Structure 1
Amino acid sequence: MGLLSKLVTRTRDKPQNRTSGSSYSFLFGGSTSGKAVNERSSMQMTAVYACVRILAEAIAGLPLHLYRHDDDSSKHKAKDHPLYTLLHSEPNAEMTSFVFRETLMTHLLLWGNAYAQIIRNGKGQVAALYPLMPNRMQVDRDKHGKLYYQYTTSAEDAPTMQGNSVVLDASEVLHIPGLGFDGLVGYSPIAMAKNAIGMAIACEEYGAKFFANGAAPSGVLEHPGTVKDPSRLRDTWQGQFGGSSNSHKVAVLEEGMKYTPISISPEQAQFLQTRKFQINEIARIFRVPPHMVGDLEKSSFSNIEQQSLEFVKYTLDPWVIRWEQALSRALLASDEKQTHFFRFNVEGLLRGDYQSRMGGYATARQNGWMSANDIRTLEDMDQIADEDGGNLYLINGNMLPLSRAGAFADKVTNTSQEESNEEQEVLAMEKPERRRRQSENP
């Protein structure tokens, strides 16, 4: 990995203090339910795994392009820039762009921060980006107040670097922080909501043990006399009828034994509703619509499309903006920030049904603010050549600018005036002739 290029650990002046965000943190660990909650145990919850996967795959699947502003205020893809291929296709020799962004987004959702080491060539250009584990990164300030990142390596990075500490400048780290107090270090959503997730883990464990230990039939064995070895009898019964795989077996009782079934208490019967509420609670943490994690109770054909659009607008957009601005801040040179910018294309997710799209395109085309090629671009279709009118902007012929209101009436008035002038000329030419006739015929 890129850390191999920093085998010699650089030393820093003794830190004056840590960043305010990293000095106070929400810790993983025990919850009020008694269950330990961390990034690994929480991912074993189906709701957490579903939410993280949905958001990580959504960000990773969006097309990411580097654009350049031209002198005519238009924008074009900067395909000739080295960063374009790096972010769009292959950030390093080991990963595709999809896997790289999916990994960083997973870190961001679980730990609240995403880090990647920036490898530069001799010209100072970005040559590669390698993800770094957030749980082994520490953000500090030196005595001059300058930020630096201290990363502890392990055998997962390289067998020869286990336990070494690598110090990186702020210019060598792509850092995407989540929600935090100081704007520098984000807080883990898992750690902040560990009690809700811990309760969901407890409910899941309770349900698993309920079916694992429950016997069918379930109840109390009564013996008219004294049982010599009750433990052996209980173990034998449990081995034959315990667990979901032995449910509904026929039990044969001897020596006057009697089986008394015990009904499930209302508290036990309500645990399914409790588990369902915890799924909605976890979806609320990540702001994911319940229908995307399998809860279709309040979804219908009339509102599920609107919920999907709201997911893009209120859930994905804030993450997209974090990514775009962090990439521009860390990867673009100072002079390039005035002319270049990163942009995720979310148009494909915002498109409605076919009829709505065609109606919108027709309105845009008839009012002159979209050309045929603009529409075909949004629909991922080939462009029409300029000589065939692909880039023409058209409007209806009966529409005029406001400044020319009444032009039709002016045309009519001018025409009438011209006709009146012609009549006057004809009358002026005929007047001498009428006078001659009158003189000859008094």
Structure 2
Amino acid sequence: MRILGFNIGRRREKALNAVNPNRGGWLRIMESFTGAWQQNVEVKYDSVLSYHADFACRTLIASDIAKLRIKLVERDDDGVWSETKKSSYSPVLRKPNHFQNRIQFMECWVLSKLQRGNAYILKQRDARGVVVRLYVLDPLLVTPLISDDGSVFYQLQSDNLVGLGEPSITVPAREIIHDRFNCFFHPLVGLSPIFAGGLAAMQGLAIQNDSTRFFENGARPGGVLTAPGSISDDTAKRLKEYWDQNFSGKNAGKVAVLGDNLKYEAMRAKAVDSQLIEQLKWSAEVVCSVYHVPNYKAGVGSMPTHNNIQSLNVEYYSQCLQVLIESIEICLDEGLGMGESIGTELDVDGLLRMDSITQMDVLDKAKGVMTLDERRKKIDLKKVTGGDTIYLQQQDHSLEAIAARDAQLIAQSQASQAVPDELTDNSDDDDAAALAQAEQRAFFAEAMLAFQKGLAA
């Protein structure tokens, strides 16, 4: 059977076993803290996804990586990587599949990895065996399998969007790009940061839900109705129902008339006493820390006072994005079957973009190592006549010319020592003239050397 450009067959000679994330040891109950299972404290996955700090971190990381252009680069004989185009790779990098563009595809890839710890990308090949389509699969519909000899396979459930109409098919590992991280319990099973930050997110949601209920009650706390004497359970139940129906929720704030010396006493911890704001901020900071996102990037806390945008972005890139970007590049290189001299590279210039003043200052200082056209390309300007030359100031000399000048001066010094003493008694004017002649000869020697190099090139 042939599906999505590759042959699917039934393997009868080997048994395939689903991956056990516990590696065959004792069954692990993933608790948010010790004893959480016994206390019925549950970290709900869907609820965690709705927490503002978790949502901000995931979408920030995914959007920042998705906006980076995927470049196909090739290494020349000098070991320099430069952008190129290849008919076998460029089309699928530019348009991964029929229903997603490059940004949507990469955002889906990163979100799958952050939310589930795994990103499964199915490859579709043409008759030549070249990958022409890439599809991000739902992690819940994919199960890694291991055969008796250690070979890895993947069991895929039905997904009509990517062309999998069969109820269940098994494909070899070469047809899947499996990007994963935090493989604590099995090398084929990644772990989402939600495993570490889920409890903090649930705490933040609990604080917000409690505040919502409080303000729905007109910002008036619940309380206790007390009577001077004893009352029956039926009377207490009737008074409670009457009070809830007439003086809580939308009816909060109405005037209540109490008789028989009944008294109402509010009973709720103050926000200051429970440190409500501090607890909410702390829970958001914990979530940011498990994603390695600076707090201010997710809207938690204030932005650093120093006005250096590039250094802030470099810090964010190095501690959060770099490992994700490098992993994507390696997965694409291996998944598309690229060799050692060709590969993919995400253009991080858009992420590490400097302010205009700093950018122009850096380009001006780079004129000794970059041509004018290369510097103009950084700010999206076209080439100009004579722009393919590196310019240096006149007082800058090459190391070869300086070495030649020093060798010539040493030779002249040794020759002067060989002259009899009566001939070496020269005046200061003669020494100055000799030094000037030596510098002039060194200048001409450097000019001739540069001319010969130009002819050789």
Normalising by the smaller structure, the TM-score range is 0.7 to 0.9
Q: Is structure 2 residue 52 aligned with structure 1 residue 49?
A: no
Q: How far apart in 1 are the matches of 2:322 and 2:267?
A: 53
Q: How far apart in 2 are the matches of 1:209 and 1:215?
A: 9
Q: Is structure 2 residue 96 aligned with structure 1 residue 91?
A: yes
Among candidates 219, 222, 229, match of residue 223 of structure 2: 219
Moved more, 211-220 or 16-25: 16-25
Partner of residue 454, structure 2: none
Among candidates 281, 284, 287, match of residue 292 of structure 2: 287
For residue 270 of structure 1, report the CA deviation from its aligned partner: 2.0
The answer on whether the counterparts of 1:113 and 1:187 sit within 8 Å (CA) in structure 2 is yes
Could you tell me which amino acid in structure 2 is paired with residue 51 of structure 1?
C
Partner of residue 165, structure 1: 168
The correspondence of residues 125-144 of structure 1 with structure 2, limited to 5 A, is 125-144=130-149
Could you tell me which amino acid in structure 1 is paired with residue 352 of structure 2?
L
Q: How far apart in 1 are the matches of 2:118 and 2:40?
A: 27
Moved more, 215-224 or 345-354: 215-224
Moved more, 301-310 or 79-88: 301-310
The answer on whether the counterparts of 1:28 and 1:38 sit within 8 Å (CA) in structure 2 is no
The answer on whether the counterparts of 2:226 and 2:263 sit within 8 Å (CA) in structure 1 is yes
The answer on whether the counterparts of 1:117 and 1:173 sit within 8 Å (CA) in structure 2 is yes
The answer on whether the counterparts of 2:53 and 2:298 sit within 8 Å (CA) in structure 1 is yes
Moved more, 95-104 or 33-42: 33-42
Partner of residue 63, structure 1: 69
Q: How far apart in 2 are the matches of 1:393 and 1:51?
A: 43
Partner of residue 426, structure 2: none
Q: How far apart in 2 are the matches of 1:63 and 1:178?
A: 23
The answer on whether the counterparts of 1:6 and 1:166 sit within 8 Å (CA) in structure 2 is no
Structure 2 vs 1, CA of residues 394 and 314 (structure 1 numbering), >3 Å: closer, same or farther? same
SS in structure 2 at match of 1:269: coil
Could you tell me which amino acid in structure 1 is paired with residue 393 of structure 2?
N
Q: How far apart in 1 are the matches of 2:246 and 2:291?
A: 44
Q: How far apart in 1 are the matches of 2:160 and 2:88?
A: 31
Could you tell me which amino acid in structure 2 is paired with residue 169 of structure 1?
P
Q: Is structure 2 residue 208 aligned with structure 1 residue 187?
A: no
The correspondence of residues 305-324 of structure 1 with structure 2, limited to 5 A, is 306-324=311-329
Moved more, 61-70 or 73-82: 73-82
**Unaligned ranges ≥5, structure 2:** 410-431, 441-457
Structure 2 vs 1, CA of residues 232 and 270 (structure 1 numbering), >3 Å: closer, same or farther? same
Could you tell me which amino acid in structure 2 is paired with residue 110 of structure 1?
Q
Among candidates 374, 390, 409, match of residue 393 of structure 1: 390
For residue 132 of structure 1, report the CA deviation from its aligned partner: 1.1
Partner of residue 428, structure 2: none
Structure 2 vs 1, CA of residues 13 and 107 (structure 1 numbering), >3 Å: closer, same or farther? farther
Structure 2 vs 1, CA of residues 327 and 190 (structure 1 numbering), >3 Å: closer, same or farther? same
Q: How far apart in 1 are the matches of 2:300 and 2:313?
A: 14
**Unaligned ranges ≥5, structure 1:** 420-442
SS in structure 2 at match of 1:179: coil
Q: Deviations over 1:142-164 (max 9, x none)?
A: 12222111123367777964xx2
Structure 2 vs 1, CA of residues 258 and 6 (structure 1 numbering), >3 Å: closer, same or farther? farther
Could you tell me which amino acid in structure 2 is paired with residue 187 of structure 1?
L
Identity %: 24
Q: How far apart in 2 are the matches of 1:150 and 1:20?
A: 14
Q: Deviations over 1:346-379 (max 9, x none)?
A: 12222332222222111111xx201122222222
SS in structure 2 at match of 1:37: coil
Q: Is structure 2 residue 382 aligned with structure 1 residue 383?
A: yes
Structure 2 vs 1, CA of residues 204 and 130 (structure 1 numbering), >3 Å: closer, same or farther? same
The answer on whether the counterparts of 2:310 and 2:353 sit within 8 Å (CA) in structure 1 is no
Q: How far apart in 2 are the matches of 1:219 and 1:86?
A: 64
Could you tell me which amino acid in structure 2 is paired with residue 116 of structure 1?
I
Structure 2 vs 1, CA of residues 396 and 132 (structure 1 numbering), >3 Å: closer, same or farther? same
Could you tell me which amino acid in structure 1 is paired with residue 293 of structure 2?
V
The answer on whether the counterparts of 2:16 and 2:147 sit within 8 Å (CA) in structure 1 is yes
Partner of residue 326, structure 1: 331
Q: Deviations over 1:372-420 (max 9, x none)?
A: 22222222x13214xx122211111101123333849969637659x9x
Q: How far apart in 2 are the matches of 1:357 and 1:224?
A: 78
Normalised by the size of structure 1, how large is the TM-score? 0.79
Q: How far apart in 1 are the matches of 2:274 and 2:209?
A: 15
The answer on whether the counterparts of 1:26 and 1:187 sit within 8 Å (CA) in structure 2 is no
Q: How far apart in 2 are the matches of 1:159 and 1:246?
A: 55
Q: How far apart in 2 are the matches of 1:22 and 1:70?
A: 46
Normalised by the size of structure 2, how large is the TM-score? 0.76
The correspondence of residues 5-404 of structure 1 with structure 2, limited to 5 A, is 10-11=10-11, 13-15=13-15, 23=23, 32=36, 34-71=40-77, 73-88=79-94, 90-153=95-158, 161=166, 164-181=167-184, 183-212=187-216, 216=220, 218-223=222-227, 229-243=235-249, 249-255=253-259, 257-262=262-267, 264-265=269-270, 269-297=274-302, 299-302=304-307, 306-332=311-337, 336-365=338-367, 368-379=368-379, 381-385=380-384, 388-404=385-401
Q: How far apart in 1 are the matches of 2:74 and 2:117?
A: 31
Structure 2 vs 1, CA of residues 317 and 307 (structure 1 numbering), >3 Å: closer, same or farther? same
Structure 2 vs 1, CA of residues 400 and 205 (structure 1 numbering), >3 Å: closer, same or farther? same
Q: How far apart in 1 are the matches of 2:7 and 2:228?
A: 78
For residue 20 of structure 1, report the CA deviation from its aligned partner: 7.4
Q: Is structure 2 residue 434 aligned with structure 1 residue 413?
A: yes
Q: Deviations over 1:290-336 (max 9, x none)?
A: 0011123463244776333200122111111000011101112xxx4
The answer on whether the counterparts of 2:32 and 2:196 sit within 8 Å (CA) in structure 1 is no
Could you tell me which amino acid in structure 1 is paired with residue 55 of structure 2?
Y
